[in-house]
Amino acid sequence: MRYLALLLPAVLLISSCRDSRIHEKEEWGKFFEAQGIKNACFILRDNNHEAIYYYNKDRCLQQYTPASTFKIFNSLVALEIPVVPDEQYVIAWDSIDRGYKAWNKDMNMREAFKVSNIGYYQALARKTGYDYMQHYVDTANYGNKNIRGAIDSFWINDSLKISADEQVGLVKRLYFNQLPFSERTQRIVRSMMLQENEKDYKLYYKTGWGFSGDKQILWVVGFIEKIERYAEHENSMNKSEVRMYPYFFAMNFELPKDDDSKEWGKVRIDILKEILQEFGAMPGLKKG
């Protein structure tokens, strides 16, 4: 579901933006500007209040190569068919050095997801094949649904594209087991996305880093569970005294193709955390 595209026209009819479900956050631009980033967007869905917040609406609605964020979907399909029985399935390294030492070994899906091993996921896509992949891309309405070209590179060759807005819709459905996959499959993939497990929050995401023409496109897509504790009434049905509040997000920005002036992989996570902290979705911030 393209939240902004569907909801924004209705918002324009409401005279008081204070009462609407869509909120522009121009101030989030300061986090990108501080890093010299000129073209960026961020969208966040506060599920607890059914509200959406965004920076740079036009870019939030523009589709881009998903790059390694497609590993979320690639994993879902492979587990569902099943091409692999579970996330412990090992694929042998094909001995091709792709420029990242951590990829140069046999590994299972959970490990490959963590280090974003492109070789593993290309092998997974080849095992899946066009028919299954196209079926699930169509059924889940993933981006522009275009997987033309080689089966092991359509998500990095600019064929398949998706917007930040659509990415938020995808992870929201994943969180609530609403995608066209089994509960088990969605639960496993969610668990692989967990990056930080702290007392007051759990942060889940997948990064992506791709190229389109003369630009680099960097992504972070996921959700955070803010954990709050309450002393429940003795008659309450909730006996755990713990409440989880989910927030879903997607961010992307672009850079010139040859810009290696900063550790951009680290920068994107720092920006993510700065925005989540300012919004109040991430207590106890630890920059990393």
Residue 46 CA to residue 36 CA, distance in Å, equals 28
3-state secondary structure of 23: strand
Tokens standing for residue 179: 């995608």
Bridging pattern class, strands 215-229 and 242-256: antiparallel
Q: What is the pLDDT of residue 238?
A: 57
Our measurement of the distance from residue 179's CA atom to the centroid of its chain's CA atoms, rounded to an integer in Å, reads: 15
What CATH architecture is 3-279? Answer: 3-Layer(aba) Sandwich (3.40)
Q: How many beta carbons lie within 10 A of that of residue 213, not counting itself? A: 8
Give the whole-angstrom CA distance, residue 175 versus residue 246: 9
* pLDDT tens digits for range 253-262: 999 999 999 9
| Residue of 190, 191, 198 whose CA lies nearest to 286 | 198
Mean pLDDT throughout 24-34?
A: 98
Question: Could you read off the pLDDT of 123-171 as tens digits, one per residue?
Answer: 999 999 999 999 999 999 999 999 999 999 999 999 999 999 999 999 9
Q: How far is C-alpha 52 from the geometric centre of its chain's CA atoms?
A: 16
Query: Residue 19 — very low, low, confident or very high, per pLDDT cuts 50/70/90?
Result: very low
Is the preceding peptide bond at 9 cis, omega within 30 degrees of 0? no
Band (30; pLDDT cuts 50, 70, 90): very high
Percent share of the chain, pLDDT over 90: 84
Half-sphere exposure of 287 (CA within 13 A, CB side): 7
Q: For the segment 167-202, what is each residue's pLDDT rounded down to a tens digit?
A: 999 999 999 999 999 999 999 999 999 999 999 999
Active site residues: 68
Domain boundaries, the chain: 3-279
Is residue 171 a contact partner of residue 73, using CB atoms and an 8 Å limit? no
| Cβ contact 229:256 at 8 Å | no
Q: Are 248 and 44 in contact (CB under 8 A)?
A: yes
- Tell me if residue 241 falls in helix, strand or coil: coil
The phi, psi pair for 249, rounded to 5°, reads -145, 160
How far apart CA 167 and CA 252 sit, in angstroms, is 11
Helices (H), 34-140: 57-61, 71-80, 109-115, 118-128, 130-139
The CA distance from 175 to 186, in Å, is 8
Q: Using DSSP, state whether 84 is helix, strand or coil.
A: coil
